[in-house]
C-alpha cells in the first residue's frame, strides 16, 4: 500500500470545513460522481456549485468523517484509493452515513492530487 497516498486521503478529510485546504488535494479539472449530483461534475467550480446548494448545518457539531477499509495501489505516477467513508454524529441521535469511495490520483511536481472522485451513498456499515 502506498503510505503517501493513504496519508493524502486521510489529510483530505481532516480538511473538511476548510474549502481551500480540501481543494488543495484535488486537481483543478477533477471529475466527480457524487450521490447528490445528477450528473458528472467537472472542475472545482461545479463542485463549489454543488456544495453551495447543500443545506448548511445550523448549530450542530460537524460529523466525524474518516476513511475506513482503505486500500491503495500506485503504479508510478498513477494511484487508486478505495475505501468506506463514514460520517459519525456522536453528539446527535443520528445513524452514521456511509459512502463507497474510489479516487484516482496523479502524482505531479507538487505531489499527489485526486483527478477523479466517485462517492456513492450506501447502507453498508462496514
pLDDT tens for 47-59 read 999 999 987 665 5
How does DSSP classify residue 47? H
Q: Extract the runs of DSSP E, i.e. beta strands, from 9-96.
A: 26-33, 41-42, 64-75, 78-88
- Phi/psi of residue 44, nearest 5 degrees: -70, -30
| 7-36 pLDDT tens trace | 999 999 999 889 999 999 999 999 999 989
Better-predicted residue by pLDDT, 123 or 26: 26
* 117 has a pLDDT exceeding 50: yes
Q: Which residues contact 56 (CB under 8 A, 6 or more apart)?
A: none
Better-predicted residue by pLDDT, 94 or 116: 116
CA distance 121 to 110: 31
pLDDT at residue 92, as a whole number: 72
> What's the whole-model pTM score?
0.89
Domains of the chain, CATH where assigned: 3-54+62-122 (3.10.450.50)
Is-contact 106 77, C-beta < 8 A?
A: yes
Amino acid at each position: 500500500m502506498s503510505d503517501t497516498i493513504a496519508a493524502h486521503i486521510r489529510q483530505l478529510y481532516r480538511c473538511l470545513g476548510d474549502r481551500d485546504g480540501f481543494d488543495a488535494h484535488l486537481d483543478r479539472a477533477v471529475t466527480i460522481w457524487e450521490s447528490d449530483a445528477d450528473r458528472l461534475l467537472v472542475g472545482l467550480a461545479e463542485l463549489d456549485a454543488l456544495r453551495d446548494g447543500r443545506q448548511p448545518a445550523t448549530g450542530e457539531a460537524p460529523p466525524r468523517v474518516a476513511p475506513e477499509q482503505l486500500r491503495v495501489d500506485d503504479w508510478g505516477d498513477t494511484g487508486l484509493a478505495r475505501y468506506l467513508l463514514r460520517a459519525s454524529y456522536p453528539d446527535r441521535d443520528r445513524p452514521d452515513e456511509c459512502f463507497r469511495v474510489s479516487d484516482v490520483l496523479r502524482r505531479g511536481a507538487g505531489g499527489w492530487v485526486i483527478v477523479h472522485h466517485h462517492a456513492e451513498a450506501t447502507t453498508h456499515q462496514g
